[in-house]
Amino acid sequence: MMNRLVLILVLLGATIAAQAQQVAVYPTHWWTGMKWDKLQVMVRGEKIAATIPMVKMKPEGMELAPGVHLKQIRRVANSNYIFFDLEIAANAQPGWITLPFVGKKGIKYELKPRRMGNGTAYAKGVTSEDLMYLIMPDRFSNGDESNDRVKGMRDQSLRRDTVFNRHGGDLKGVQNHLDYLQDLGVTAIWLNPVIENDMPGRTEHGYAFTDHYKIERRIGGEQAYHALVDAAHAKGMKIIQDAVYNHIGTEHFLFKDQPDSSWFHRWPKFTQTSYKDQVVFDPYASAADKKLMSDGWFVPSMPDWDQSNEMVQRFLIQHAIWTVEEFGIDGWRVDTYAYNDLPFMNRCNQALYDDFPKLTIFGETWVHGVPNQSYFCENNFEVPFKSNLQATTDFQTLFYGIQPALTQPFGWTEGVNKLYTTLAQDFLYKDPMRQVIFLDNHDIARFYSVVNEDTAKYKAAFAWLLTSRGIPQMYYGNEILMAGTTSPNDGYVRLDFPGGWKGDKANKFTAAGRTAKENQVFDYIRKLANFRKNSSAIKTGKLMQFVPYDGVYVYFRYDAQQSVMCIMNTNDKAFTLGLNRFAERVDGFTTGRDVVMDVKIPLKDSITLQPMTNLVLELKP
């Protein structure tokens, strides 16, 4: 009998110990001195709520430490969750607190001191002074082969001979090439999602999170991310993280084991969003169309958060704040921005601005029309809803600007006139200099393929990208003429950077590994990008554009210290441009230095332009 009792006690102890090991806390820790001082701590474990005693608290809450009060313990339908609402006063000190739990030990929870250098060493934001470089970590460079496959994860693929599987690139691979990027003229790196994406099937893109508080182990995990951010900051470079607030992956623990039925949008059967952004601002839109746009799921594998749920809001906001403070990132790019609950996004953005005043946030708004796009960021409209998002990814200057400028014949509204017309609508934005301009990304055809691998058009596009208003963003491999379209699928615009893997036939990270044509384009982009680094007129100056005539578009970037004249000839033949029309910007200057060729060009009566070219001239008295 005694032996049986001992056995029962041992088994019971083992069960309790096993359950204790499975307890997870989110956020994993917090900090004192944060503006976000009302913290929701989520504890998850098998039947965890059944082990929490009923605590009788005073109206002002239970003091867990000086300045730290437990205001409420919240239960939900699923007993695997319990929520602690904490209030952290300004006088709270770093250290450990104890959340009331079964037994006397409780759950230890750490409040850390904040990082030093908010806005100077981290959370610096990206501005028009930066050049961003977008990297899909799995396809850039494999710096640590030990994480190519991680035991226990659902996707065990590792095949570089297909675009559908993982290839093994990682954060160490990015870190290994920071010098390469800095030499190119890059000042900020935007990474496709780094959060754990433990889904079956294709996972290289990372947009279906499965645990917000884990960095993807197959790209190196938390340690590698800390190392990359620190290494970039040591070189004066910035890191932008990809955020996804609209949805998660079906393997996320919060979807598989939901706290209650109100955390995700539910439909009688799978219902996809309409992708019709117009209904969000359409004064005549039906409620049904609005609901379908915002509450429909993006794809079947991505459950749609119900962001009207206050607990969901706090989970997402706290994770965003936690990430900036934990890793020291400098800004956010927000995926599928238009599909979110926009008042919630304003609240989330504001919480980040409050704790990190120099942090920048720009949202993906793959919409059509400058009015559509500007509605989702800070604008000059007098409408009921006012967004506080600083800027968007500027699909308008791409699809209705530089693409037709270099692929359509010139006409009254065609060709380069579309670029002019699109920029003429900048009056709709509160600050168009914050718009992120680009030629391509991980979802669309690479620009080199868009212009049918015409290097003259490609160089003209980059001359515009690196001299126009806004924050320019390159896509990895642009500088070495990487090509690809989304047909038959988007994997073909996500090919590996040659030289990023041991045994690659060519190493495009070096001049010796590039072809003569690739080096010519690489040097062209590098020259312009590094000129831009030191050009006050381009980084922060004003823009003046002139109406295009005969396929030629002229604009100026200027301030009190510098004037830069940019001339785009979209014709397939040479063109002689008279200068009298531009007197208000060229008077007082006698020469222009071609910043690429480093030769002087007299500013007399006219300038002769080569076919399909963009001339960038630094004007001199």
Residues 559-577 have pLDDT tens digits of 999 999 999 999 999 999 9
Q: How far is CA 490 from the centre of its chain?
A: 18
Average of per-residue pLDDT across 70-75: 94
pLDDT score recorded for residue 173: 98
Which tokens sit at 255? 């979807």
Is 364 considered catalytic here? yes
Residues 215, 326: Cα–Cα separation, whole Å:
12
Is 335 considered catalytic here? yes
Average of per-residue pLDDT across 303-315: 98
Whether 542-620 and 24-112 are alike in CATH topology: the answer is: yes
Average of per-residue pLDDT across 77-82: 97
Confidence band for 106, pLDDT divided at 50, 70 and 90 = confident
The rounded percent of the chain whose pLDDT value lies above 90 is: 93
For the chain, give the number of residues. 621
The rounded percent of the chain whose pLDDT value lies above 70 is: 96
Average of per-residue pLDDT across 108-128: 98
Q: What is the dihedral of CA 26, 30, 36, 37, to 10 degrees?
A: 100
pLDDT score recorded for residue 18: 38
* Omega cis (within 30) before 27: yes
Average of per-residue pLDDT across 461-489: 97
**What is residue 429's three-state secondary structure?**
strand
pLDDT score recorded for residue 61: 85
Contact 353, 359 (CB under 8 A): yes
pLDDT score recorded for residue 120: 98
Q: Which CATH class is domain 542-620?
A: mainly beta
CATH topology classification for 132-533: TIM Barrel (3.20.20)
Which tokens sit at 273? 């969003």
pLDDT score recorded for residue 55: 74
- In terms of C-beta density within 10 A (0-12 exposed, 13-18 middle, 19 or more buried), how is residue 67 classed? middle
- In terms of C-beta density within 10 A (0-12 exposed, 13-18 middle, 19 or more buried), how is residue 619 classed? buried
Contact 616, 595 (CB under 8 A): yes
The domain segmentation of the chain, as residue ranges, is 24-112, 132-533, 542-620
Contact 332, 240 (CB under 8 A): yes
CATH superfamily of 24-112: Immunoglobulins (2.60.40.10)
Buried b (16+ CB within 10 A) or exposed e, 311-325: bbbbbbbbbbbbbbb
Q: Which of 198, 242, 364, 496 is catalytic?
A: 364
Q: Is 50 exceeded by the pLDDT of residue 2?
A: no
Angle, helix 221-234 to helix 310-327, in steps of 10 degrees: 60
Q: Which of 204, 211, 330, 335 is catalytic?
A: 335
pLDDT score recorded for residue 1: 41
CA distances from 477 to 139, 155, 181, 409, 429 (A): 10, 26, 11, 28, 31
pLDDT in tens, 195-235: 999 999 999 999 999 999 999 999 999 999 999 999 999 99
Nearest to 465 by CA among 132, 134, 124: 132
Q: Looking at residue 398, what DSSP letter applies? A: I
pLDDT score recorded for residue 103: 59
Residues 466, 532: Cα–Cα separation, whole Å:
7
Q: Is 50 exceeded by the pLDDT of residue 399?
A: yes
Residues 169, 137: Cα–Cα separation, whole Å:
5
Confidence band for 20, pLDDT divided at 50, 70 and 90 = very low
CB atoms closer than 10 angstroms to residue 600: 14
Confidence band for 102, pLDDT divided at 50, 70 and 90 = low
Q: Is 90 exceeded by the pLDDT of residue 52?
A: no
Note the pTM of the prediction, 2 decimals.
Answer: 0.95
pLDDT score recorded for residue 247: 98
Question: Which region holds residue 261: left if phi is over 0, alpha if psi is between -120 and 50, else beta?
Answer: alpha
pLDDT score recorded for residue 100: 86
Average of per-residue pLDDT across 239-257: 98
